Amino acid sequence: MTTQRLTQAYRQTPWRTQFQWIGLFLLGLILLATVAGIYLSVSAGAAAVGREIQQLEYEREMMAREIADKRTLLAQLTSTGQMSKRAGELGYESIQPGAAQYMVIPGFIPRQPASLVTSSTYNAYQSSLVEPRYTQSLLEWITEQFITFQNN
């Protein structure tokens, strides 16, 4: 009998079902707003990082242009014409190759020309640096171990 009264009381109050539907609708709306807020937050962060990357790329391009400008300026300053002009301003004069005088300085040892080493000389040099145990192949080592084992 008490269940009958409860169902009858529940049927007599339709506002309860309306509150349930309104509650479910509001819960869905809150969930939708939360997902939209998270999406906007992530999108805003990605946009900020993207903008920072663009700024860094712009700065890199500007530095590359500045480096190219400095290299161009260096090339202009060290060109033959500019160097001859600056040498003239400093009092240097051009001479003919036959007019040069060379001085002999006792005890001076000039630079030695580069020596191209032949492969046989290189191999002899290399073999003197490397210990024999490091030049032995695996097959030679196995053979040596086998002979040592047989002799014992």
**Tens digits of residue pLDDT in 67-90:** 999 999 999 999 999 999 999 999
Please write the tens of the pLDDT for every residue from 104-122: 889 888 888 776 666 666 6
CA separation, residue 101 to residues 46, 95, 112 (Å) = 73, 11, 22
Please say whether the dihedral angle defined by the alpha carbons of residues 117, 120, 125 and 130, taken in this order, is positive or negative: positive
CA distance 13 to 9: 7
Task: Examine the pLDDT at 91 and tell me if it is beyond 80.
Answer: yes
Residue 81's SS3 state is helix
pTM for the model: 0.43
